[in-house]
Structure 1
Amino acid sequence: MALAISTGKVDITPPVGSIMAGYGVDTPRVATGVNRPLRARCTIFWDDGWPNAIVTVDTLAFGRSLHINIRDRVAAIGIPQGDFVLSTSHTHSGPATTEKLDPFIAYNANATHRTQISNLSTALADKIVQLVQDTYNATRVPCTLDYKVTTQNWSYNREGMSYRETDVPVLVARNSSGAPLAVLFSYGCHPVAGGSQTLLDPDYPGAAADRIESSTGALAQFILGPCGDQNPDGVFSLSYVDQLGQNLATAVTTAMATPGRALAGPILTGYSTVNLPLDITPTPGNMQVVKNIYQQRQQNYPSGYHRRHAQTMIQQIDSNTFATSVPLPIQVWKLSGAPGLRMVFSGGEVVSGFAVYMRSLYGGSSRLLYSTCCHETLCYIPSDELLRRGESYAGGFDADHPGIAGGSMTVYGYLGHFRGKPTASSPNGVEQIYINAVRSLLGTP
């Protein structure tokens, strides 16, 4: 199969004064300047003339409506939904967007702030769609593809579990002379190295991508690995961002210096949306009990985002508008080779245990590239192991009221946490449903 690529890049840095995303605060974090520009990058892999596009964006997350708006408009360009990947770097030093995190709950954004966030989100969507259109129309350069895995070791499990991400997958497109045209690289670690400061910055993914591009001339796209329980192991600061970006860039450029395992077309793709159940019993009697608990939390909790979450949940109970499940998009690409490569592009902040399990089935990172925070980042995706704990931020509940949403599910704006499978006879929960959906797309190991 003849392969070619076209590439594009656009600056998406919002204006100074924009509301920043990523941390629960009582006073909105307002951008006071720019440390490093934010960018969106696009590579279209042309498989015998058929387009398969990956867009990576330096922002925290897309909610469902914004993601679907972009995906539908890209389909109108001529790239079907299974052949279009939308990935966020999940930087916590970028702009807030509509829906997720919930701007009122997480940032205490008032009506004026929310209008600003909405307008910025619309402008961002327009820039992304135009980037895809421009890349679609750009010169197509014949290429080969090769793949290898290198390592970094500065991620640790912040939930205290045994899983620790170290693998750095590197997929390179080269011209006929072997020079790199584009590289897709990944690492499983939260992009929070900059900490809660007020300069716009793409965090370590953008710092690494800029350095790779400067040293190789290839377009560099970062896709986030399974980061839901992984953090950088250091003191957060913008200088720490530079350090990690340099470390990651050096590892990737060193890997790029010699070709890895050859890959080829056809590029086979699949896309589906799975509904993950929340642990909610929506009977009138139970909803009254839940409302009473939220009323207590609204009055007594010390953290502002817990109180605003409680206020919002009371309104949703009264209007019967609360969600009982979460729709999660999952996408898979498959490349041929000896052996080939399967690539998972999952929505949500997926904890690392899922990737560890999937790699054990599908040949490790050399055969399976597992990325998250793609398409829509509607919440964390926890394992049963996390859901069985007495308290877990990624699991989405607090020790004092385990029957209602806590932890991460508050800032994401849900009434309850996910349903687990605490016993063998329990109905399937988030872990089983999520794994089955991914395996259905991946196929037989």
Structure 2
Amino acid sequence: MTTSAMDAVNPPSSEPKASSPVSRRRLLTGGSVVAASLLGQGLVGSSARGAAGTGLSTGKIDITPAPGVFLAGYGVDAPRRSTGTAAALFARCTIWWYAGVPHVIVSADVLGFARGMHRSIRSQVLNLGVASANFALTATHTHNGPVLSDKLDPFIAYGMSDAQQAQVRTYSDGLATRIVQLVRDTLRDPQTPCTLDYQTVSQHFSYNREGLPYVESEVPILTARTPGGAPLAVLFSYGCHPVTAGSQALFDPDYPGDAVSRIEAATGAFAQFLLGAAGDQNPSGARGWAQRSMRGGELAQAVMSAVARPGSPLTGPTTTHYREVSLPLDVTPTADNLRQLSAVYAARMANTGLPGYYRRHAQQMISQVEAGTFATSIPLPVQSWTFAGTPSLRLLLAGGEIVSGYAVYLRARYGTSSRLLFAGYANEVPAYLPSDELLRRPSTYAGGIDSDFPGIAGGSMTVYGWLGHFRGKPTAGSPDGVEQILINALDAALTAA
């Protein structure tokens, strides 16, 4: 990222040999307060009462819709209606208990959660007695999962009618209810005493589809084991878009789900996947079922080989942090500018040479300008957990489709993947999160800017339904571009936890 806040940063070629002290600060909603709340609701299993050290609870539910439900992930003019299932979709829940306090990560085989759905699920989970900073909701981002409400915008991205969108809302509401029930049930399950260890290995089927030099290759692996060393649960990550199967008519979790299934079958342990900084990372090779199985098998084998030996020991999570940051769109809401925007969008809507989702986006934007309902900024959740150890481990969870340059920068700043597990697609997925480098390069999908009309939304910002693209850095020393604001928020999350 040649002249941005991420410039001139190269990750160290070797892991750091020393570690910094880990803060033992507890949150105000920590320890006895949360444990007492859960106990009062009957949500703490008997082995959790008065627990000290690290315990584990896991659970999963099949969330595969019936045939006929619409598929998400690719901009189309006629919604893709499923004809069946290639492999089941799941929502998975891992709870680490530290000193009696639950730390909950839920992943689901869906494209991503919009703000309304995330906030509904979060509020209900908090009512179960889980602290907000101790709950993370993630999407594996399969492109052959069900359409969910709001993001991607069902009308813009898929041309869905009002009646079809009503079906989407029905499934989405039911999924939210089931995810909350999954957390409730897992909280009630007995804890299993465990040890934690962490290590990283590599995979190399990802490449940077925007032509940048950053390529995600690390596979971070956090393993919970019995006191005797047998694996109980494996949380692993990789930064590559789950599109190996291509656009299909069957529900499928793509390579992450294939890898999870193989790991569970071979080890007997519970497995869960977190998608890394995959906004500009695609799988190499042709699309299809054979490619999906090959990449899933390669990833699973790398994880299983690592899990066969212990990594660096960890304890925790010891501290957690959750906040939201407001990311600015490059929108000037003056009457004159809005009139010009509407005129440009009217020309785009009439251009039959453009993709259908571009024309539908233009139609929606004209309506938003007329109604005054357009946004000028986007809220984004940022979350971090710290696991104590030598070295300690920070788990950083960013919302959105974050591009790899952020991961490269932060791993260099905080000690490579041996010290930082960086995941995207967490809690809410409102848009791609480009760097200034991508915002300076029109006609990149992730950047959301097109060379024909650079002042309005293009690329990924169309299917996500925004009036404009993100605001880049106006000058070299300006602090208010999206990249610097996001870096500051991620730094704050990491230092707070």
Q: TM-score, normalised by structure 2?
A: 0.89
Tell me the equivalent position of 2:181. Answer: 130
Alpha carbons 2:380, 2:399 under 8 Å: kept:
yes
Tell me the equivalent position of 1:313. Answer: 365
Tell me the equivalent position of 1:213. Answer: 264
Tell me the equivalent position of 1:116. Answer: 167
Alpha carbons 2:479, 2:485 under 8 Å: kept:
no
Alpha carbons 2:103, 2:317 under 8 Å: kept:
no
CA distance in 2, matches of 1:97, 1:3: 35
For residue 392 of structure 1, give the secondary structure of its aligned residue in structure 2: coil
1:81 Cα deviation (Å)? 1.1
For residue 91 of structure 1, give the secondary structure of its aligned residue in structure 2: coil
For residue 350 of structure 2, give the secondary structure of its aligned residue in structure 1: helix
CA distance in 1, matches of 2:344, 2:178: 43
CA distance in 1, matches of 2:477, 2:310: 49
Tell me the equivalent position of 2:27. Answer: none
Alpha carbons 2:207, 2:281 under 8 Å: kept:
yes
Tell me the equivalent position of 1:416. Answer: 468
CA 289–215 in structure 1, closer or farther in 2 if over 3 Å, else same: same
Match runs of 1:370-409 below 5 Å? 370-409=422-461
Consecutive unaligned residues of structure 2, counting only runs of 5 or more, are 1-51
1:267 Cα deviation (Å)? 2.1
* 2:408 maps to 1:330: no
Tell me the equivalent position of 2:297. Answer: 246
Alpha carbons 1:165, 1:188 under 8 Å: kept:
yes
1:197 Cα deviation (Å)? 1.1
Match runs of 1:253-402 below 5 Å? 253-301=304-352, 302-402=354-454
Letter in structure 2 aligned against 1:296 = A
Tell me the equivalent position of 1:54. Answer: 105
For residue 391 of structure 2, give the secondary structure of its aligned residue in structure 1: coil
1:83 Cα deviation (Å)? 0.1
1:390 Cα deviation (Å)? 2.5
Q: Tell me which of 481, 485, 495 is aligned to 1:429.
A: 481
Letter in structure 2 aligned against 1:102 = D
Q: Tell me which of 181, 185, 203 is aligned to 2:254.
A: 203
Letter in structure 2 aligned against 1:356 = V
* 2:81 maps to 1:81: no
CA distance in 2, matches of 1:66, 1:428: 29
Match runs of 1:92-103 below 5 Å? 92-103=143-154
Letter in structure 2 aligned against 1:210 = S
Letter in structure 1 aligned against 2:85 = V
Letter in structure 2 aligned against 1:322 = F
Q: Tell me which of 158, 163, 185 is aligned to 1:107.
A: 158
Task: Deviation per CA, 1:15-60: give whole Å up to 9, x if none.
Answer: 1101110010000001111000000111110001100001111000
CA distance in 2, matches of 1:14, 1:444: 40
Tell me the equivalent position of 2:45. Answer: none
1:78 Cα deviation (Å)? 1.2
1:424 Cα deviation (Å)? 1.7
Alpha carbons 1:391, 1:399 under 8 Å: kept:
yes
Task: Deviation per CA, 1:102-154: give whole Å up to 9, x if none.
Answer: 00000000011101100000111111111101100001000000000000000
Letter in structure 1 aligned against 2:60 = K
Match runs of 1:147-226 below 5 Å? 147-226=198-277
CA distance in 2, matches of 1:131, 1:213: 19
Considering only aligned residues, what root-mean-square deviation do their CA atoms show, in Å?
1.0
Alpha carbons 2:317, 2:385 under 8 Å: kept:
no
Q: 4+ runs of 1 displaced by more than 3 Å?
A: none
Number of residue pairs the alignment of both structures matches: 445
